[in-house]
Structures are given as C-alpha cells and as structure tokens.
Amino acid sequence: MSEDTWNIGGLELRSRILLGTARYPSTQVLLDALKVSGTELVTVGLRRVSPSANGGENLYTLLQESGYHLLPNTAGCFTAKEAVLTAELGREALGTSLLKLEVIADEETLLPESEELLKAATTLVNAGFTVLPYTNDDPILARKLEDVGCAAVMPLAAPIGSGLGVRNPHNLQLIKERAKVPVIVDAGVGTASDVAVVFELGCDGVLLNSAVARAQDPVRMARAMGAAALAGREAFLAGRMPRKFWAESSTTLAGRISVGARS
C-alpha cells in the first residue's frame, strides 16, 4: 500500500482517511484519534474556531504543529454569498486555498443546497480556491461541480451525523465511474464496515467526523476506520469474484468416491 498514493489539488497523500475535528470529548482524545487513524488531512470549521484567537488554545496551530494538512470548511453556510465570504476570510487567516465547500439547505436535513452550492463553487474556483464540495449523491450535480473546476467531489453516504452508512451505493458508483477527479465520500458513515464498503466501491477517500468523535471509544474507532480503509482499498484493487445466482463448489467433483460404485 506504500505506493498507493493519491492527489488532491497538488497535495499528495498516502492515507485515504480524512478526519473532522468537532465534538470530541477533549483535545487530547482528538489528537490521539488523528494519530492512530493515519490521517494526513483534517478539516476544521472556519466558524467554529477563530484562527486569530488571542489566548487559549488555537486548534489550527496545534494541528499544523502536529504535522497535519488543514482543510478548512464552510460548515453552517446557507447561501453562496455566506460561503464565499467565509472562504475568503479563512484563506486570509490560514494562508491556504484548499477548501471543503458546504452550503446546506436547512438545519433539519443538513442536505446540500444544490443551486447555491454550484454558484459558490464557480465563484471560488475562479478566485483561485481548490474546492472540494460536499454534495448530494447525484451524478448530474457531481458532473456539474467537476465541470466548473472543483478538485474533487464529496457525495454523501447518508445525512450528516446519521451514521446510517452507504444508503445508495449505485449512485456512488455512477459518480465514480464518470468522475475524472477524486471522489471522497463525506457524511453518514457510522462504523468501520461502512468505510470498507466505500473503498470496495472504488471511491478515492472518505471523510469522517461523528462516526469517530461520537463513538464510545473514539481512539479505538479511529484505529478501526484506518484499518477498514486499507482493507476496502486492497479488496477493490484485488478485484472481487463475480456474483453468481447458483452455488459453485470450490472443490472439483472429479475423482469423488461413489458409494454406489460396484467392482
């Protein structure tokens, strides 16, 4: 697996796990979980932590000093205008153009607002951002986001924080089959088997937050997620056996002993 690297907007990565940083019981648990997961790229909400905070703990600095690449996100934005302004302030404060773009429709479903998302993505790409948009599992919208210049597409597996796992594997496969940019499944993953499924479908990466942070033991779950990513990716690269309607013995019947045989 050491040679199985991938690239997001010029950033070469070995780990295919991206982790969020919200809702952990403590900063130390967060750091321990990040370490055992093997992640190299972590996302932080630009509205949740002030990059220029005076005094107290600066999460951005702590993560950078720990060797992680930062992926700021626009969580909590409902319009393209809000998302663009948040992204511009984040780039100025953090010095990175890498961005996870979120534009949600409402607080109940937390589903993407497609028209505003596409509008924001177009504006930010033209402004020089490397945009990774959180989107519905809609192959058409994914293609439109790629066409306006997004560096990856990030379709959901299920609603944010639901832990329901991959609800529509067919759509994820459609997105992956047509995409010329990385496909990173974002939102709805609940446990390690969900991560394995994501990679068995051929997706390039998975972004997790609640599944790890809200586990009874976040550090152990983070380790499980990292292992599942490796297993799922290896299975995809190996190529699974074809599915068959009827059983097929793995042992040949040639030369079997016949009870009714006569000398």
pLDDT for position 61: 84
Asked whether residue 62 is domain-assigned, the answer is: yes
* Prediction pTM value: 0.89
Asked whether residue 245 is domain-assigned, the answer is: no
pLDDT for position 163: 93
Asked whether residue 19 is domain-assigned, the answer is: yes
Q: Is the pLDDT of residue 57 over 70?
A: no
Q: How confident is the model at residue 69 (pLDDT cuts 50, 70, 90)?
A: very high
pLDDT for position 247: 87
The residue-averaged pLDDT of 55-76 equals: 83
Q: Is the pLDDT of residue 8 over 60?
A: yes
Asked whether residue 260 is domain-assigned, the answer is: no
Q: Is the pLDDT of residue 90 over 90?
A: no
Q: Is the pLDDT of residue 259 over 80?
A: no
pLDDT for position 139: 96
Asked whether residue 261 is domain-assigned, the answer is: no
pLDDT 10s digits, 182-195: 999 999 999 999 99
Indicate the number of domains in the chain: 1
Kindly list the catalytic residues: 100
Q: Is the pLDDT of residue 53 over 70?
A: no
pLDDT for position 9: 84
- Give me the CATH number covering residue 27: 3.20.20.70
pLDDT for position 249: 78
What's the one-letter identity of residue 201?
L
Asked whether residue 151 is domain-assigned, the answer is: yes
Q: How confident is the model at residue 51 (pLDDT cuts 50, 70, 90)?
A: low
Signed CA dihedral, 208, 211, 216, 221: sign only: negative
pLDDT 10s digits, 201-252: 999 999 999 999 999 999 999 999 999 999 999 999 999 999 889 888 777 7
pLDDT for position 54: 44
Q: Decide: residue 65, CB within 10 A, 0-12 exposed, 13-18 middle, 19+ buried.
A: exposed
Q: Is the pLDDT of residue 255 over 70?
A: no
Domain that holds residue 198: 6-238
Q: How confident is the model at residue 260 (pLDDT cuts 50, 70, 90)?
A: low
Q: For the chain, what is the mean pLDDT?
A: 90
Asked whether residue 252 is domain-assigned, the answer is: no
Asked whether residue 191 is domain-assigned, the answer is: yes
pLDDT for position 250: 77
Q: How confident is the model at residue 56 (pLDDT cuts 50, 70, 90)?
A: very low
pLDDT for position 262: 56
